[in-house]
Amino acid sequence: MTKKPLLLLLLFLQVGLVAQAQQEPVDLDAVHRIKQEGLQNSQVMQTAFYLTDVSGPRLSGSPGLMRASEWAKKQLTDWGLKNAQLEAWGDFGRGWEVEKSYIALTAPYYQQLIATPKAWTPGTDKEISGEAVLVQLDKEEDLQQYKGKLQGKIILTKIDEHAKTTFEADAKRYSEEELHDLAMSLEATRSQSRWTPERIAEYRARMALRNKAAEFFQQEGAAVILSSRGGTHGTHFTSNGAAYAPNAKAALPEMEMGLEDYNRIVRLLEAKQPVKLEVNTKTRFVDNDMKGYNVIAEIPGTDKKLKDEVVMLGGHIDSWHGSTGATDNAAGVAVMMEAVRILQAAGFKPRRTIRIALWSGEEQGLYGSRGYVKQHFGDPATMQLTKEHEKLSAYYNLDNGTGKIRGIYLQGNDAVRPIMEAWLAPFNDLGATTTTIRNTGGTDHLAFDAVGLPGFQFIQDEIDYDTRTHHTNQDSYDRLQADDLRQAATIVASMVYHTAMRDKKLPRKPLPKPREAS
Amino acid sequence: MTKKPLLLLLLFLQVGLVAQAQQEPVDLDAVHRIKQEGLQNSQVMQTAFYLTDVSGPRLSGSPGLMRASEWAKKQLTDWGLKNAQLEAWGDFGRGWEVEKSYIALTAPYYQQLIATPKAWTPGTDKEISGEAVLVQLDKEEDLQQYKGKLQGKIILTKIDEHAKTTFEADAKRYSEEELHDLAMSLEATRSQSRWTPERIAEYRARMALRNKAAEFFQQEGAAVILSSRGGTHGTHFTSNGAAYAPNAKAALPEMEMGLEDYNRIVRLLEAKQPVKLEVNTKTRFVDNDMKGYNVIAEIPGTDKKLKDEVVMLGGHIDSWHGSTGATDNAAGVAVMMEAVRILQAAGFKPRRTIRIALWSGEEQGLYGSRGYVKQHFGDPATMQLTKEHEKLSAYYNLDNGTGKIRGIYLQGNDAVRPIMEAWLAPFNDLGATTTTIRNTGGTDHLAFDAVGLPGFQFIQDEIDYDTRTHHTNQDSYDRLQADDLRQAATIVASMVYHTAMRDKKLPRKPLPKPREAS
């Protein structure tokens, strides 16, 4: 008791609001009930099982995504949420899925290789056999020497990356020191600083050369293009290899593989050892519905004055195709679904409406959330805002893997810091201790931030996101950390609940300028 | 200078030979020349490339092993070694290799799985499609409930192992503390203590049940048996699934896979989600020559009195079939070949004959080295010894992966400790510091030890042997640590050279009793 005035004083100094400050109230009875349901009766792994093992890969536009979306809609309805629906956010393009994927070395000896067709590329449609050719490709002129030589060939280009044996763990958690640095530093986060102008230019040049080369290989009648974006020990990264636009040009079959299998072929070819491969891939384009959909459902608000106001939570439900997208982002979806399940199961009657949104098209450019925000809240290009814009208190997002919540990115919004700190306090002993004024990029809260709405992504332990799971062929159910997901769902439930019960909406930053004007 | 008497005294105390002790001479000029060649002009990775990437999997009896053996024989001859030959050590059995390996989930959705046919099992010989069935198998009686239900089915049994996300590195090196413990402790090494009588009994019971079940599944007309011996992220362990004996009973096609793919199917079946798989495997039995061969070659001795005496070095050249056996044991073979290349290239004229032996049949029970020892030196069952027995000074083996040499196991031979310590001293700064009186098991030096000949295995850093490489589908060229192999080859060359130049043969332990008598 005696320490309270001092604590309050410290809090005031910390947030820089000496006047008018009032400690943010926390409903510890509600926290207790949420913890009981979230930590003792968790269903988050069951939800994750249906999103991953049962639904399969959930590439935007694919039948797998539709299965998962329909399942989520039904499950949310079964839990008592209202207005569950698949809401179109706009035009996406062609759906696509893999129906056969096989590649093997047949000379100098037989060995099966681990590879995945690149998204939206065609298959070979039958088993073909071809010689591997190592193409020198530093600049466009390099291609000319291969004129007339690539008919039926399987193409590789040399890469600079090699499998490394590391003496560091694949998986890690934030240390206290790292969290401190995250909270203190003014530097941009890594995910933003990654894309320097130089790197963007270099990337564009590389893509342009790649496209020129792909066109050349196609003209020359090559059979398949192989590539590697890294990954070791049977893990490899996956991506798209062709456009999903309805009018996209036809492309060659392409496959991606890990560094060992890829570099083995390169080494053999460099040593003038003939290499033959057999390939059998089949992919299916799905053109019956080019629209993209988000899954939406609500716990309706109960306060006469506030029920038109909304608190949103969500994460993207689409994934890449090489596995079942467990940490990217079935984890986030399962946690957000579990958070609303907890609130339903604990019988809360929130004042504001709580709305969950499971986005699609995230991997192609946050399309689902951006489309939704544009339809419901405003256009970041013009900053023409809708009436709903005034009604949204906050959006909470989860999309940084399976790791537990260690805190929250404040997205440059100083005024929410004391609120978030107060709401996180009952979860400090579960490891959620940190607020940082930083922005973080790369996911759907940005769509809200872009029109001046409070959109937040949580700080999460990385676990093995960068090494094993993010966009890989190994992002499957077993990568999920059950304890972490339970923790995250419990915290999100409480944050959302407090946001829904708060007298006022969360404070906002000044509105951004129209993007067109900048 | 002033410290020398004290050092000698310490040495005497350490080895317990106060009387007659004389410091083992070390030819530091030779060490220098060996280091120059081994560390500056290393060809060890080139050798490893031919053993792995070019030769492919080297299962005992397989065409891949024959390719690698013929290549090694030619390469050793090209380096100037004499009497290079493939020497039959006895009857092995049938050769076998994979000609097609493909398995995929087709319901509830399509996804390619990573799996390898178990050695010596037949293939499906065409693409087949079948429902997966989860068989409860704790005891033989469990099978009866499946009578009449398995025709054309793909069988799985539940396993207790699950993919774990660890926060430890896959790869590690010995710490100074661990090396100290290894040198000091009287405990048996881990590889020996692993097989307690309880564990052997448990293993035998499990194998018996497995065999009963396999017979039942075959009678019932099942199509394929799937299993997992562990491994994660696309890595899985491989083994044999049927006997290689010429008269072995026909078996069902079997495949092994990693924990994630396997447990995904198990989870789906437990949740009553129908699972369909398509499988296409083809394997080839090679029956034209049932004999097993070791590769042998020599640097003839030059000392009139000692040239009939022999120093041997070697490692097994056979591997499992899931990859190219890089760390098990192309690494050991490449190092031993590089050691003799170093001695040849540096122009040494050893007094004794140096003989390299690349064993086959190691993975099935040290057959190649045991057969060789029985033919050349004596029979451990009767302890009937040959004349050659008297002529062998020592055998050095390398077969504990790609890790550099940290010292040597003395195999309980106290008298060689001061010799080994003296010979290792010029390599202490390369990390080879430790002698341990312990035995280590599991590889070909045991064949020599069994008839009372000094046979030694080096202490090697584990690197990622237990986690990623040993008997896995990922034991390929990129797992090799080039610096470690250079170091190992340099040290082995020096140890072998000093053994060949020493006035006397290495001291021996008392002869063991005939095995038949015990």
Burial class of A34 by CB neighbour count within 10 A (0 to 12, 13 to 18, 19+): buried
Using H for helix, E for strand and C for coil, what is the string for A90-101? EECCCEEEEEEE
Tell whether B273 lies on the interface with A, counting CB pairs under 8 A.
yes
**Taking a C-beta distance cutoff of 8 angstroms, is the pair B97, B286 a contact?**
yes
CB-based contact B111 A56, cutoff 8 Å: yes
Tell whether B478 lies on the interface with A, counting CB pairs under 8 A.
yes
Q: Taking residues A439-468, what's their average pLDDT?
A: 96
CB-based contact A49 B263, cutoff 8 Å: no
Instruction: Read off the tokens for A426.
Output: 């009952």
Domain with CATH 3.50.30.30 in chain B: 99-172+197-283
Mutate to test the interface with B, among A47, A53, A66, A97 (most CBs of B within 10 A): A53
CA distance B200 to chain A (A): 31
d(CA A425, CA A433): 7
Instruction: Read off the tokens for B338.
Output: 């590089």
Supply the pLDDT for residue B517. Answer: 63
State which amino acid sits at residue A109: Y
CA distance B250 to chain A (A): 23
Supply the pLDDT for residue B192. Answer: 55
Nearest-Cα residue of chain A relative to residue B282:
A110
3-state secondary structure of A444: coil
In the structure, what pLDDT confidence band is assigned to residue B9 with cuts at 50, 70 and 90?
A: very low
CB-based contact A112 B98, cutoff 8 Å: yes
Supply the pLDDT for residue B6. Answer: 47
More reliable by pLDDT, B15 or A95: A95
Domain with CATH 3.40.630.10 in chain B: 23-92+290-517
Q: Taking residues B286-315, what's their average pLDDT?
A: 97
Question: What pTM does this model have?
Answer: 0.93
What percentage of chain B exceeds 70 in pLDDT? 94
Tell whether B327 lies on the interface with A, counting CB pairs under 8 A.
no
Spell A114-137 as b/e; 16+ CB within 10 A means b. Answer: bbbbbbbbbbbeebbebebbbbeb
Q: What mean pLDDT value characterizes chain B?
A: 93
Over the stretch A20-30, which tens digit does the pLDDT of each residue have? 557 999 999 99
Cα–Cα separations (whole angstroms), residue B182 to A243, A488, B190, B218, B465: 58, 44, 10, 48, 18
Look at the domain B23-92+290-517 and name its fold. Answer: Aminopeptidase (3.40.630)
Supply the pLDDT for residue B1. Answer: 37
Over the stretch B69-106, which tens digit does the pLDDT of each residue have? 999 999 999 999 999 999 999 999 999 999 999 999 99
Q: First CA to last CA across chain B, in angstroms?
A: 52
Segment 176-205 of chain B within 8 Å of chain A by CB: none
Instruction: Read off the tokens for B504.
Output: 């006397």
Return phi, psi of residue B6, to 5°. Answer: -65, -45
Burial class of A339 by CB neighbour count within 10 A (0 to 12, 13 to 18, 19+): buried
Tell whether A228 lies on the interface with B, counting CB pairs under 8 A.
no
Over the stretch A251-309, which tens digit does the pLDDT of each residue have? 999 999 999 999 999 999 999 999 999 999 999 999 999 999 999 999 999 999 999 99
Nearest to B148 by CA among B211, B214, B219, B213: B219
Question: Is the pLDDT confidence value at A413 over 80?
Answer: yes
CB pairs under 8 A between A and B: 166
Tell whether A318 lies on the interface with B, counting CB pairs under 8 A.
no
Tell whether B124 lies on the interface with A, counting CB pairs under 8 A.
no
Q: Taking residues A309-332, what's their average pLDDT?
A: 98
Tell whether A209 lies on the interface with B, counting CB pairs under 8 A.
no
Query: Which of A56, A165, A168 shows the shortest C-beta gap to B481?
Result: A165
d(CA A8, CA A17): 11
Lowest mean per-residue pLDDT among A172-186, B85-99, B453-467 = A172-186
Over the stretch B349-389, which tens digit does the pLDDT of each residue have? 999 999 999 999 999 999 999 999 999 999 999 999 999 99
Supply the pLDDT for residue A158. Answer: 93
Q: Taking residues A326-334, what's their average pLDDT?
A: 98
More reliable by pLDDT, B237 or B246: B237
Look at the domain A96-177+187-284 and name its fold. Answer: Glucose Oxidase; domain 1 (3.50.30)
Q: How many CA atoms lie within 13 A of A214 on its CB side?
A: 20
Antiparallel, parallel or unpaired: β B276-286 and B128-135: antiparallel
Tell whether A478 lies on the interface with B, counting CB pairs under 8 A.
yes
Tell whether A466 lies on the interface with B, counting CB pairs under 8 A.
no
Spell A200-228 as b/e; 16+ CB within 10 A means b. Answer: eeeeeeeeebeeebbebbeebebbbbbbb
Spell B2-13 as b/e; 16+ CB within 10 A means b. Answer: eeeeeeeeebee
For residue B261, the surrounding DSSP H or E stretch is helix B259-270
In the structure, what pLDDT confidence band is assigned to residue B461 with cuts at 50, 70 and 90?
A: very high
Instruction: Read off the tokens for A334.
Output: 């399962």
CB-based contact B260 A111, cutoff 8 Å: no
DSSP state of B73: H
Supply the pLDDT for residue A247. Answer: 86
ipTM of the complex: 0.93
- Chain B residues within 8 A of A258 when measuring between CB atoms: 234
Supply the pLDDT for residue A152. Answer: 98
Return phi, psi of residue A437, to 5°. Answer: -70, -10
Over the stretch A429-446, which tens digit does the pLDDT of each residue have? 999 999 999 889 889 999
Cα–Cα separations (whole angstroms), residue A254 to A117, A123, A415, A473, B353: 6, 8, 49, 15, 55
Look-up of token digits 């469990």: B142
**Taking a C-beta distance cutoff of 8 angstroms, is the pair B273, A54 a contact?**
yes
3-state secondary structure of B158: coil
Segment 403-442 of chain A within 8 Å of chain B by CB: none
CB-based contact B481 A102, cutoff 8 Å: no
Tell whether B163 lies on the interface with A, counting CB pairs under 8 A.
yes
Using H for helix, E for strand and C for coil, what is the string for B460-498? ECCECHHHHHCCECCCCHHHCCHHHHHHHHHHHHHHHHH
Instruction: Read off the tokens for A192.
Output: 């933003």
Return phi, psi of residue A20, to 5°. Answer: 65, 0
In the structure, what pLDDT confidence band is assigned to residue B515 with cuts at 50, 70 and 90?
A: confident
B13's CB contacts (< 8 A; 6+ apart) are: none
Query: Which of B112, B233, B323 shows the shortest C-beta gap to A474?
Result: B233
Question: Is the pLDDT confidence value at B16 over 50?
Answer: no
Cα–Cα separations (whole angstroms), residue B139 to B143, B258, B375, B515: 8, 24, 44, 36
Bond prior to B400 in cis (omega within 30° of 0) = no
Query: Which of A114, A280, A478 shows the shortest C-beta gap to B162?
Result: A478
Instruction: Read off the tokens for A318.
Output: 């689409």
d(CA B319, CA B363): 7
- Chain A residues within 8 A of B273 when measuring between CB atoms: 53-54
Q: Taking residues A104-111, what's their average pLDDT?
A: 98
Over the stretch A385-404, which tens digit does the pLDDT of each residue have? 999 999 999 999 999 999 99
Tell whether A272 lies on the interface with B, counting CB pairs under 8 A.
no
Question: Is the pLDDT confidence value at B17 over 50?
Answer: no
- Chain B residues within 8 A of A101 when measuring between CB atoms: 104, 112
CA distance B161 to chain A (A): 11
d(CA A182, CA A189): 8
In the structure, what pLDDT confidence band is assigned to residue A201 with cuts at 50, 70 and 90?
A: very high
Supply the pLDDT for residue B448. Answer: 98
Tell whether A258 lies on the interface with B, counting CB pairs under 8 A.
yes
Q: First CA to last CA across chain A, in angstroms?
A: 52
Tell whether B260 lies on the interface with A, counting CB pairs under 8 A.
yes
DSSP state of A37: I
Supply the pLDDT for residue A191. Answer: 52
Q: Taking residues B293-303, what's their average pLDDT?
A: 98
Q: What mean pLDDT value characterizes chain A?
A: 93
- Chain A residues within 8 A of B111 when measuring between CB atoms: 56-57, 98, 323-324
For residue B394, the surrounding DSSP H or E stretch is strand B392-397
Domain with CATH 3.50.30.30 in chain A: 96-177+187-284
CA distance A16 to chain B (A): 39
CB-based contact B112 A99, cutoff 8 Å: no
CB-based contact B110 A97, cutoff 8 Å: yes
Query: Which of B101, B233, B476 shows the shortest C-beta gap to A468?
Result: B233
Q: Which CATH architecture has domain B99-172+197-283?
A: 3-Layer(bba) Sandwich (3.50)
CA distance A173 to chain B (A): 8
Supply the pLDDT for residue A239. Answer: 85
3-state secondary structure of A142: helix
Using H for helix, E for strand and C for coil, what is the string for B294-339? EEEEEECCCCCCCCCCEEEEEEECCCCCCCCCHHHHHHHHHHHHHH
- Chain B residues within 8 A of A109 when measuring between CB atoms: 55-57, 63-64, 67, 97
Spell A437-469 as b/e; 16+ CB within 10 A means b. Answer: bbbbbbbbbbbbbbbbbbbbbbbbbbbbbebbb
What percentage of chain A exceeds 90 in pLDDT? 88
Query: Which of B101, B108, B168 shows the shortest C-beta gap to A112?
Result: B101
Q: DSSP alpha helices (H): ranges in A244-361?
A: 259-270, 331-345
Sheet holding A434-436, edge to edge: A82-91, A291-299, A353-359, A310-316, A392-397, A455-460, A405-409, A434-436
Question: Is the pLDDT confidence value at A9 over 80?
Answer: no
d(CA B69, CA A77): 66
Q: Which CATH architecture has domain A23-92+290-512?
A: 3-Layer(aba) Sandwich (3.40)
Segment 292-311 of chain A within 8 Å of chain B by CB: none
Over the stretch B122-174, which tens digit does the pLDDT of each residue have? 999 999 999 999 999 999 999 999 999 999 999 999 999 999 998 999 999 99
- How far, in whole angstroms, is CA A86 from its chain's centroid? 19
CB atoms within 10 A of CB A273: 15
Nearest-Cα residue of chain A relative to residue B267:
A53
d(CA B131, CA B148): 15
